[in-house]
């Protein structure tokens, strides 16, 4: 069973006054690539999240977005009274030196001074509390993403199978046409040589004519290419039908390249209009396959 590399999954949860939401998106990529967008409080979990994701998928370009929503009560900052009193002492000292001027103290501005307000909850404690929750959310989101990738994989497999049918149909035509190419070459060569020799009043022996036809037949023989191409199609089908969830994208991409190579060889070796048309249709189907397998994990 093949899987698409395009997918989306999300999960959310809340605990101890903190709401967590996680989104996971994936697109096709030859390798594994992850972009993490985490709140500053959870930046230390990035390496762990990447390791967990690598265990669940083989390749693709992933974007993991994590958001926190902290309740007002928990988000409130603590006032460091010692720091605030120190600022007030300094202000009293300044005011004692300017007796003839009014000095107003704005507590709101004092709270904005460095060190006066401190987070109510230690960031390290948030990370420890969040770790099991975030790991569970990643597992849930990854499960949804893989489910979507599986569904899209079924659609990909159906389209790929249709293209394989086109290839086999065109190969059947080519296989039936190939022997007639040699016979037609013999007839055309005999006729042409006969016309030329009639003008020159010369003769060519039949063995010499057959030798030339044999050389052409050897040069235009495409039986091996047809056999190899058919074999690649069979192997491609086996990979599509496999029940295991092993990544198959690179294998299918390699087989598609080999099928294209055999098609090119058939087209270059056999000088026949009907076969050439079939080769064009073959290559069109293979190009479609190559395009589709780029999104197979």
Query: Residue 18: pLDDT above 90?
Result: no
Is 2 domain-assigned? no
pTM of the model: 0.69
Q: Domain check: are 185 and 257 in the same one?
A: yes
Q: Which of 8, 32, 1 is nearest to 22 (CA)?
A: 8
Q: Domain check: are 191 and 177 in the same one?
A: yes
Is 165 domain-assigned? yes
Q: Domain check: are 95 and 184 in the same one?
A: no
pLDDT the model gives residue 26:
96
Q: Domain check: are 159 and 265 in the same one?
A: yes
Tell me the average pLDDT across 138-142: 96
Is 175 domain-assigned? yes
Q: Domain check: are 134 and 111 in the same one?
A: no
Q: Domain check: are 240 and 109 in the same one?
A: no
Give 167-192 pLDDT, tens digit per residue: 999 999 988 887 776 665 555 655 55
Is 1 domain-assigned? no
Is 81 domain-assigned? yes
Q: Domain check: are 113 and 175 in the same one?
A: no
Is 14 domain-assigned? yes
Give 226-253 pLDDT, tens digit per residue: 899 999 999 999 999 988 778 899 999 9
Q: How many domains does the chain have?
A: 3
Is 28 domain-assigned? yes
Q: Which of 40, 4, 10 is nearest to 24 (CA)?
A: 10
Is 144 domain-assigned? yes
Q: What is the CATH number of the domain that holds 17?
A: 3.30.230
Q: Domain check: are 279 and 160 in the same one?
A: yes
pLDDT the model gives residue 121:
55
Q: Domain check: are 11 and 145 in the same one?
A: yes
Task: Tabulate helix, strand, coil % of the chain (nearest 5).
Answer: 65, 15, 20
Structural domain harbouring 85: 77-119
Q: Domain check: are 159 and 214 in the same one?
A: yes
Tell me the average pLDDT across 260-274: 86
* Torsion angle defined by CA atoms of residues 40, 45, 46 and 52, in that order, rounded to the nearest 10 degrees: -150
Buried (b) or exposed (e) across 218-245, using 16+ Cβ within 10 A? eebebeebbeebbebbebbbebbeeeee
* Torsion angle defined by CA atoms of residues 278, 279, 284 and 285, in that order, rounded to the nearest 10 degrees: 70
pLDDT band (50, 70, 90) for residue 215:
low
- Spacing of C-alpha 201 from chain mean position: 69
Q: Domain check: are 204 and 102 in the same one?
A: no
Query: Residue 24: pLDDT above 90?
Result: yes
Q: Domain check: are 271 and 218 in the same one?
A: yes
What's the mean per-residue pLDDT of the chain? 81
Number of Cβ within 10 Å of residue 153's Cβ equals 24
Number of Cβ within 10 Å of residue 22's Cβ equals 24
């Amino acid at each position: 069973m093949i899987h698409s590399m395009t997918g989306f999954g999300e999960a959310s949860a809340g605990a101890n006054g903190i709401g967590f939401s996680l989104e996971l998106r994936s697109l096709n990529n030859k390798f594994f690539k992850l972009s993490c967008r985490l709140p500053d409080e959870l930046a230390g979990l990035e390496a762990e999240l990447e390791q967990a994701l690598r265990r669940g998928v083989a390749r693709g370009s992933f974007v993991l977005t994590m958001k926190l929503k902290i309740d007002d009560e928990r988000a409130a900052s603590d006032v460091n009274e010692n720091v605030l009193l120190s600022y007030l002492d300094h202000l009293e000292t300044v005011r004692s030196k300017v007796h003839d001027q009014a000095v107003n103290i704005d507590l709101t501005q004092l709270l904005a001074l460095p060190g006066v307000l401190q987070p109510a909850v230690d960031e390290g404690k948030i990370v420890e509390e969040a770790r099991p929750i975030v790991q569970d959310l990643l597992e849930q989101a990854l499960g949804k993403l893989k489910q979507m990738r599986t569904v899209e994989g079924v659609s990909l497999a159906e389209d790929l199978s249709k293209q394989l049918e086109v290839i086999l149909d065109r190969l059947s035509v080519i296989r039936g046409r190939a022997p007639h190419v040699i016979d037609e070459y013999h007839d055309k060569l005999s006729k042409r040589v006969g016309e030329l020799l009639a003008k020159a009043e010369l003769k060519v022996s039949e063995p010499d004519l057959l030798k030339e036809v044999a050389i052409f037949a050897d040069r235009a023989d495409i039986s091996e290419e047809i056999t190899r191409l058919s074999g690649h199609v069979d192997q491609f089908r086996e990979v599509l039908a496999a029940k295991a969830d092993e990544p198959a994208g690179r294998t299918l991409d390699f087989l598609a390249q080999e099928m294209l190579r055999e098609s090119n060889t058939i087209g270059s070796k056999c000088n026949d209009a009907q076969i050439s048309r079939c080769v064009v249709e073959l290559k069109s189907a293979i190009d479609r396959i190559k395009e589709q397998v780029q999104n197979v994990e």
